[in-house]
Structure 1
Amino acid sequence: MNQFVPRITAVGSYTPERRLTNADLERMVETDDEWIVQRTGIRERRISAPEEYTSHLCIEAVKDLVNRYGAVLDDVDLLIVSTSTPDFTFPSTASLVQAHFGIPQTLAFDLSAACAGFIYSLHTARSMLASGLHRKALVIGADALSKITDYTDRTTCILFGDGAGAVLLERDAEGAEASWLASTFGSDGTGGVHLYRTGIASSLNGVPVNAGGKLVQNGREVYKFAVQTVPKGVAELLKQAGLSSGSVDWFIPHSANLRIIESVCERTGIPLEKTLHTIEHFGNTSAATIPLALHQGIKQGLLKEGDKVLMYGFGGGFVHGGLLLKWKEPLSKR
């Protein structure tokens, strides 16, 4: 089977209008701005309206992609939405996006990999395009975490916000140099009890779990997992590509917590100045953090043709995954 070379041709993003600041949280739970900033780096997060759900965030991000790049969606034949907060168990959020834009014929499904979901989805889409089975993919990372956050729990409610990011993948010109340099993925399901959203089961790995459909997190254990796992994954990506940490132009980790990002940078040797994140103004938006940061970097003119971009996601599962690519400028309006 022929191998085709996929590339990112358009990027879009969306965050809701409402801001939830640290000052707002001071009036809701026992906390204060200094405590939040010192421990997380977060100053505000965006919160979706009462009747605004993940599908709406996705749709707005795709509209932004279309408006910015003049992208055509009629021939999209693969649509993946990575989310932990689907509007419904079924129909999928991807199907709701397909219906809104009237895409006539596409494989559409949701992918659940928590905060690593966008990386999992991007890897899945580029693999399916490279195989020749599909020609054009729309990949969205989106979460409305405010819908599942317990705002009486001061340890978690300070972290999470809502948002969405979308990218379009298409086959590159024949003979084009590959954008994708390396990939690595992993999972440790024994860590699931430390970060989960309650469901229909009353226990997880034999451990009783809370009910109520809310997000539950053991922040200490998540921190340990991230700072131990991500640097090893980064080292593996660099080894595969035959590069050093100094060769990385931009590092886009999952924006979970600024202290995690700082620790990972210290352990990998990648300067914090080369890191793109959205933690200060958007908080942890789960599957949306990496595409949001990617789009911020593009809009600020930071990403340049040929830059080495390393993206790494990690989260509930525990799951993690990273991609290293040689950046190609998204296509101009056409």
Structure 2
Amino acid sequence: MRYARIAGSGSFLPKKIVSNEELVSTLLLRGIETSDEWIVQRTGIRQRHLANSEESTSYMATEAAKLALLDAKIKSSNIDLIIVATSTSDKIFPSVACLVQSNIMATSAAAFDIQAACSGFVYALTIANNFIRSGSARNVLVIGSEVFSRIVDWNDRKTCVLFGDGAGAIVLSESKESDRSIIASDIHSDGTCSEILQVNSYVDKKGIITGDHFVSMDGQSVFKKAVNVLEKSAIEICNKSGIALSNIDWFIPHQANIRIINMLGRKLNIPSNKLIVTVDNHANTSAASIPLAFDKARKDGRIRMNNLVLMQGVGGGFTWGSILISI
């Protein structure tokens, strides 16, 4: 039997850090009333990293990928597949994954992007696991990379305080050990809820980009939907794996909002010391939020060998999913 284990991880955050105080000062100059206290109470965010003009989605993805390969002690030439989860690709095509493939000289790798908004990394890990389990790949580079700052309306208080930029990467490698591998995954979607979180921009019949190219969100609806589906998904993945929720060592939810994370923790009776939280420093980095949080917790020693880790994503589409991994 073939299994997929995490061989290494890496992350990249833009150098520019914008605190709530700095953001509030800028917004007040535009006549938008807000405060550090308001942002922290409603989101848990205290700062965010924002990309400069040189830090594209592919650039950040490449930097995270290099660190993940170094951590895994795997040469880029041994990567069979690159999957990038993103909603903010550099171009319509080629894919970010193909640009990364070129940048790291992964000459043997197939490459493609997937778009499942903030759930993208969980979807990508699920796909990568299936490639390895089927024997179609031995080493897969899975990346979440986003520059959401470029699709945020900085005059909209409801959304502009929420997002940040960054990239995280994981190398999955073939293993014969079932006790150190991806144990189970669970992904879903509900297109009837597409309008509660979207970027309603498209190319019309005349070839003109039209619509609203900024993120729009019905915050209350997203909150209710997110908590509900993630609770059910966590229970479902425990049923699939036969592992009790109480036996899971670490929970890495999508870092969208501290209120969603805390509410989910209460519903599932997850102790706060089992929750990996980075939203305070990274804000919502969409598909990059889970690998960024994982890499931080792994590198600071919280996540250790033989730990059970549950990752959960939720985002526009509406999409959501969970993946349970033995490290």
TM-score of the aligned structures, taking structure 2 as reference length: 0.94
Question: Does structure 2 conserve the Cα–Cα contact (< 8 Å) formed by 1:254 and 1:313?
Answer: yes
Q: Counterpart of 1:293 in structure 2: which amino acid?
A: A
Question: Does structure 2 conserve the Cα–Cα contact (< 8 Å) formed by 1:248 and 1:270?
Answer: no
Separation (CA, whole Å) in 2 of partners of 1:240 and 1:326: 15
User: 1:278-307: per-residue Cα shift (whole Å, max 9, x none)?
Assistant: 100010000011001101111110112221
Separation (CA, whole Å) in 1 of partners of 2:62 and 2:245: 36
Q: Counterpart of 1:301 in structure 2: which amino acid?
A: G
Separation (CA, whole Å) in 2 of partners of 1:157 and 1:129: 39
SS in 1 for 2:153: coil
Q: Counterpart of 1:40 in structure 2: which amino acid?
A: T
Report what 1:307 is aligned to: 307
Alignment of 1:80-99 (within 5 A): 80-99=83-102
Report the Cα offset of residue 267 of structure 1: 0.4
RMSD after superposition: 1.5
Question: Does structure 1 conserve the Cα–Cα contact (< 8 Å) formed by 2:181 and 2:326?
Answer: yes
Identity of aligned pairs, percent? 41
Separation (CA, whole Å) in 2 of partners of 1:281 and 1:25: 14
Q: 1:175 to 1:272 in 2, by over 3 A?
A: closer
Report what 1:148 is aligned to: 151
Question: Does structure 2 conserve the Cα–Cα contact (< 8 Å) formed by 1:120 and 1:321?
Answer: yes
Is residue 129 of structure 1 aligned with residue 127 of structure 2?
A: no
Report what 1:330 is aligned to: none
Separation (CA, whole Å) in 2 of partners of 1:162 and 1:38: 21
User: 1:13-66: per-residue Cα shift (whole Å, max 9, x none)?
Assistant: 010010111111212222100000000000000000023210011011112223
User: 1:217-248: per-residue Cα shift (whole Å, max 9, x none)?
Assistant: 11111101111111111111112222322111
SS in 1 for 2:321: strand
SS in 2 for 1:42: coil
Report what 1:292 is aligned to: 292
Question: Does structure 2 conserve the Cα–Cα contact (< 8 Å) formed by 1:254 and 1:277?
Answer: no
Q: Which runs of 5+ in 1 are unaligned?
A: 203-209, 328-334
Report the Cα offset of residue 178 of structure 1: 5.4
Report what 1:38 is aligned to: 41
Report the Cα offset of residue 201 of structure 1: 6.7
Separation (CA, whole Å) in 2 of partners of 1:9 and 1:67: 10
Separation (CA, whole Å) in 2 of partners of 1:116 and 1:71: 27
Q: 1:26 aligns with which of 24, 31, 37?
A: 24
Report what 2:62 is aligned to: 59
Q: Counterpart of 1:249 in structure 2: which amino acid?
A: D
SS in 2 for 1:9: strand
Separation (CA, whole Å) in 1 of partners of 2:50 and 2:293: 18
Report the Cα offset of residue 326 of structure 1: 1.4
Separation (CA, whole Å) in 2 of partners of 1:175 and 1:288: 28
Separation (CA, whole Å) in 2 of partners of 1:18 and 1:225: 33
Q: Counterpart of 1:321 in structure 2: which amino acid?
A: G
Is residue 229 of structure 1 aligned with residue 232 of structure 2?
A: no
Is residue 185 of structure 1 aligned with residue 187 of structure 2?
A: yes
Report the Cα offset of residue 316 of structure 1: 0.3
Alignment of 1:100-119 (within 5 A): 100-119=103-122
Question: Does structure 2 conserve the Cα–Cα contact (< 8 Å) formed by 1:55 and 1:86?
Answer: yes
Q: 1:175 to 1:316 in 2, by over 3 A?
A: closer
Segments of 4+ moved more than 3 angstroms: 66-70, 174-178
Q: Counterpart of 1:123 in structure 2: which amino acid?
A: T
Separation (CA, whole Å) in 1 of partners of 2:240 and 2:132: 22
Report what 2:207 is aligned to: none
TM-score of the aligned structures, taking structure 1 as reference length: 0.92
Q: Counterpart of 2:270 in structure 1: which amino acid?
A: I
Q: Which runs of 5+ in 2 are unaligned?
A: 28-32, 205-209
**Alignment: residue pair count:** 317
Report what 2:269 is aligned to: 269
